[in-house]
Structure 1
Amino acid sequence: MIGRPLVTGNRHTCGVTRSFGVASAALALALVLSACTVTVEGVALGTGRVVNPDQQSDVDPTFINNSDGGEIDKLAGTVVKDVEKFWQEAFPKTFDNKPWQPLRGGYYSVDTSDKTAPAPPCTDQASDVEGNAFYCPSADIIAWDRVALLPVLKNRFGEASVMLVLAHEMGHAVQRRAGITQSAQRSDPQRFPTILLESQADCYAGAFVRWVSDGKADRLRLDRDSIDPALEAMVLFRDPVGTEQTAQGAHGDAFDRVSAFQDGFEKGTQLCSEISVDNRTFTQRGFLDEKDEATGGNLPFDNTVELLETDINAFMQSELTKLGKQWTKPKLDRVNSTPRCSRGDQGPVAYCPDDRTIDMQTRGRLAELHSEIGDWATGTIVSSRYAMLMLATLDKPLTGPEAQRSALCVSGAYSKSLLNRVGNNVFALSPGDLDEAVQVLLGFDYPARDLEGEAPATGFERVAAFRVGAVDGLKSCNLA
């Protein structure tokens, strides 16, 4: 909060290439060391398998340049074959009946552990591809690291993450075929900033993943639960917190990237093709000042709660007045044990309808998430319980899917109200705070729980409902 983000290192694939993004060194190490991903408490994730075992043997990876014929390249080959089929169908429908043109340069698998391995086009040596995948428009090729990227993603986030990465790179090939050439980017960089092109590629990847999840692919399959770990990979490959959205090579923060993916998943390639600087707003932004950069962007737990309590009450009062209702400030009870004031387990913060209070566990899970993720993990969970009180004030349902979505939407709308505040000592979101919201929503269902403790099963659904309010404000939450 208050504009104090955490800085991590980064590097970008240079010039002519368009990459999925590069994890910071610290996060890349975490990838290698960890073989598991965050799981939602009480909810089982999918298997992470996306390849139909009866079909994978049909893909001969020898069409991939420099392939070793191993399991990773079989997986990559299976993915790109279905991505090609998707665009054979989707490209003419999206771009005035123009036929899809296959990549003239093909695909390259790179053994970045071998100093003598051949380098793919657009690079000087194999190690240039380490930890990355990219599309090179001048050679019209897609290349990937089969040693330090794809197997690591598969092991931690499941096969769907490999699908997402390669579909993103194909999205850049789509852009070139749609007329977004290197010369066009150079001549009008304000119209084609890097972050816009990356957002569009994320959107195209989302449209492809939806096609797979709808059962239309020849070789791939996907249950919805397997999407959550893949989205966690997008969080990993976000830009370093504090990166300006105008920076060369910017891909977007986690909120921007997941938003673009969900837009493609929900609305298809036509919307993706129409993304422009005129209709796309990005939340990524730089530090406010050196103090913000130095202090890391996170307030201590007690300070966060104290400032949040004052601010969110003012927000609720203002918004309910517009709706012709009166906001009664609830008592925020700080408790040591898990709140037990409702019919079900709402998690470490609970709205208590009998006396219209909000119970908050000051030790345990909430404080741990504050430390592990950041202060807007706390803000997202706590604001969702105030959202439940807003729903009660408006005589809206407090249980069931509508209540769950509405609580998330209101929480998102409150976050939006904090996003563009400026000035000294102003309670506002810092760079990276919306990413913290995405992380807590993907990993935990606390912000979505209704009075009975029920919530949407997938992080994808939770982020989508939160994003409605975070993008379009309270008017989009259908509370009137």
Structure 2
Amino acid sequence: MRTRLPAAVRLVAPVLLLVASLAACTNAIAGEPVSTGSVLSETNPDQPGGIDPSFVKNTDGGPIDQLAAAVLTDVRSYWTETFPATFDGKEWEDLSGGYYSVDTSSDDAPAPPCVQQASDVEGNAFYCPSEDVIAWDRAALLPVLKERFGEAAVMLVLAHEMGHAVQRRAGLTPDEQRANPERYPTILIEAQADCYAGAFVRWVADGKAAHLQVADDRLDAALESLITFRDPVGTEQTDEGAHGDSFDRVSAFQDGYGSGATLCADISIDNRTFTQRGFRSAADAERGGNLPFDQLVTSITEDLTAYFATVVREQGGTWTDPTLTSGEAAAECAGSEQGPIAFCAEGDAIEVTAEEELPKLHTEIGDYATGILLASRYGMATLDALGKPLEGERAQRQLLCLSGSYTGTLLARTEGFTLSPGDLDEAIQVLLRYDYPGRDTAGEAIDTGYERVSVFRKGTLEGPAACELT
């Protein structure tokens, strides 16, 4: 269930839960509005960001369109600079159809090209290749993003849509995509646009933009907004209109942020692996991909023991199965600074505090919220078995990497204990919001969710060899 925009490439699938008309087909991300500060450089006290939004068609001249105008001005500057270097000297051409702000709260508001009426844009932003325009809902999308995730989320959304305009200028036409759906599936097209958005945001973070600025601590909220647009759990990556799960979308953004537009331009079905998957059984679909807490703990701990025992032995160490305990003993663990699940080197015990926060995470995020916390503590047991330090930045990174390496093995399985659709989404949400999976025995961890996700991804995609255990 999703709104379809004729001849348009859309970002939002599904649309935010706060858009009431589509609430039934979305997945909510719990959370309160965040305070992340402005991304606008105060170059003109009377005009935030120093941008006159009059080039935006149907603008009301208000703060939301001022922000959008600042983003679009800088992203056009970015592509004017970057496009020739990325595409063999070809010059950037601005959008011939222009930019449209749409007031979806008004019954008589003018509609942008490619739709019949303004309400068709509700909760949405899109690039329409047939008319070469970008349009956005200034009433029920951009203000919601700004309120919940900060202004950097608006930057990400509009940069994504400009990414689709980049694809059009690089030679990918709608006709070519329709004629070669296996070569150009929608999930690939969306990943490339996410990647281009990441490359632009890095340019801004490096201080090269005239009107925008973004600090590292604002990226977490921006990524939270991106994963809000993940596909409904159980969507197959081959489905028409599939945009990717949280892991796919965040991965594409981080690849662009880390490596730039040239890497994005080279993304193809031959070199891109997607993790999104549909349900493999009716029973799993009926459960929504989640197991009850006790059942999950019983199932995963046996699997974690087998996996990490193999990792330790391959490194020449001796593995001892940790004892899993819960109740009052957990509060007495020497490693209780680690959070609701802790590894205690003395006695080789993993203590689970199955009260309050952990069941809440399990219920509100999903069962792999518990799974990733357990995986990280088994990772700590692995470091201990190999005689590695259990404190410090290196240990913190190894814990996240080992959690990812275990998760990666589950992706490759077709039977036995494996990942359900949505499990990777749950892992990404935990990593963005909480530092528990990366906490060392002193309770210290990598500060930003962005970097925690990055290290976890490396382990997921490259395995234990990426975790620097030797």
Unaligned stretches of 5+ residues in structure 2: none
Equivalent in 13, 22, 28 of residue 22 of structure 1: 13
Residues 148-199 of structure 1 deviation map (CA, whole Å, 9 limit, x = unaligned): 0000100110000000000000000011111111121122111110000000
Could you say if the C-alpha distance between residues 296 and 288 of structure 1 is closer, same or farther in structure 2, counting changes exceeding 3 Å?
Answer: same
Residues 406-444 of structure 1 deviation map (CA, whole Å, 9 limit, x = unaligned): 100100111111123223xx2110000000000011111
Q: Does 1:120 align with 2:117?
A: no
Q: Name the residue aligned to 2:69.
A: 77
Output the TM-score relative to the length of structure 1. 0.92
Q: Name the residue aligned to 2:354.
A: 362
Equivalent in 404, 418, 425 of residue 435 of structure 1: 425
In the alignment, the residues of structure 2 paired with residue 326 and residue 427 of structure 1 have an alpha-carbon distance, to the nearest angstrom, of: 25
Q: Name the residue aligned to 1:458.
A: 448
In the alignment, the residues of structure 1 paired with residue 100 and residue 371 of structure 2 have an alpha-carbon distance, to the nearest angstrom, of: 44
Bigger RCO (CA 8 Å, 6+ sep): 1
Q: How does 1:40-59 map to 2 (within 5 A)?
A: 47-55=36-44, 56=48, 58-59=50-51
Structure 1: 4+ residue segments shifted above 6 A = none
Residues 383-417 of structure 1 deviation map (CA, whole Å, 9 limit, x = unaligned): 10110111122222221111111100100111111
Secondary structure of the 2:325 match is: strand
Equivalent in 87, 96, 119 of residue 104 of structure 1: 96
Q: Does 1:327 align with 2:319?
A: yes
Contact 1:35 1:155 in 2 (8 A): no
1:38 Cα deviation (Å)?
5.8
Q: Calculate the aligned-residue CA RMSD, in Å.
A: 2.1
Q: Name the residue aligned to 1:4.
A: none
Unaligned stretches of 5+ residues in structure 1: 1-9, 40-44
Percent identity (aligned):
55
Residues 51-101 of structure 1 deviation map (CA, whole Å, 9 limit, x = unaligned): 112342521111001111111000000000000111111111111111111
Residues 240-274 of structure 1 deviation map (CA, whole Å, 9 limit, x = unaligned): 00011011111101111011111111111111111
In the alignment, the residues of structure 2 paired with residue 57 and residue 227 of structure 1 have an alpha-carbon distance, to the nearest angstrom, of: 20
Secondary structure of the 1:89 match is: helix
- Which sits farther off after the overlay, 398-407 or 20-29? 20-29
In the alignment, the residues of structure 1 paired with residue 405 and residue 292 of structure 2 have an alpha-carbon distance, to the nearest angstrom, of: 23
In the alignment, the residues of structure 1 paired with residue 18 and residue 404 of structure 2 have an alpha-carbon distance, to the nearest angstrom, of: 27
Q: How does 1:190-201 map to 2 (within 5 A)?
A: 190-201=182-193
In the alignment, the residues of structure 2 paired with residue 159 and residue 336 of structure 1 have an alpha-carbon distance, to the nearest angstrom, of: 44
In the alignment, the residues of structure 1 paired with residue 29 and residue 246 of structure 2 have an alpha-carbon distance, to the nearest angstrom, of: 21
Contact 2:35 2:150 in 1 (8 A): no
Q: Does 1:169 align with 2:155?
A: no
Contact 2:49 2:211 in 1 (8 A): no
Aligned partner of 2:179: which letter?
S
Secondary structure of the 2:296 match is: helix
Contact 1:342 1:452 in 2 (8 A): no
Secondary structure of the 1:332 match is: strand
In the alignment, the residues of structure 1 paired with residue 68 and residue 38 of structure 2 have an alpha-carbon distance, to the nearest angstrom, of: 13
Q: Name the residue aligned to 1:208.
A: 200
In the alignment, the residues of structure 2 paired with residue 375 and residue 435 of structure 1 have an alpha-carbon distance, to the nearest angstrom, of: 11
In the alignment, the residues of structure 2 paired with residue 410 and residue 58 of structure 1 have an alpha-carbon distance, to the nearest angstrom, of: 46
Output the TM-score relative to the length of structure 2. 0.94
Contact 2:153 2:221 in 1 (8 A): yes
Q: How does 1:167-316 map to 2 (within 5 A)?
A: 167-316=159-308
Could you say if the C-alpha distance between residues 53 and 36 of structure 1 is closer, same or farther in structure 2, counting changes exceeding 3 Å?
Answer: farther
Could you say if the C-alpha distance between residues 330 and 223 of structure 1 is closer, same or farther in structure 2, counting changes exceeding 3 Å?
Answer: same
Aligned partner of 2:217: which letter?
D
Q: Does 1:386 align with 2:375?
A: no
Residues 309-350 of structure 1 deviation map (CA, whole Å, 9 limit, x = unaligned): 111001112222222222110111112476343367100111
Secondary structure of the 2:331 match is: coil
- Size of the aligned set, in residue pairs, is 463
Q: Name the residue aligned to 1:403.
A: 395
Aligned partner of 1:49: which letter?
S
Contact 1:160 1:226 in 2 (8 A): yes
In the alignment, the residues of structure 2 paired with residue 407 and residue 57 of structure 1 have an alpha-carbon distance, to the nearest angstrom, of: 41
Could you say if the C-alpha distance between residues 226 and 344 of structure 1 is closer, same or farther in structure 2, counting changes exceeding 3 Å?
Answer: same
In the alignment, the residues of structure 2 paired with residue 12 and residue 248 of structure 1 have an alpha-carbon distance, to the nearest angstrom, of: 13
1:35 Cα deviation (Å)?
12
In the alignment, the residues of structure 1 paired with residue 188 and residue 261 of structure 2 have an alpha-carbon distance, to the nearest angstrom, of: 15
1:25 Cα deviation (Å)?
6.7
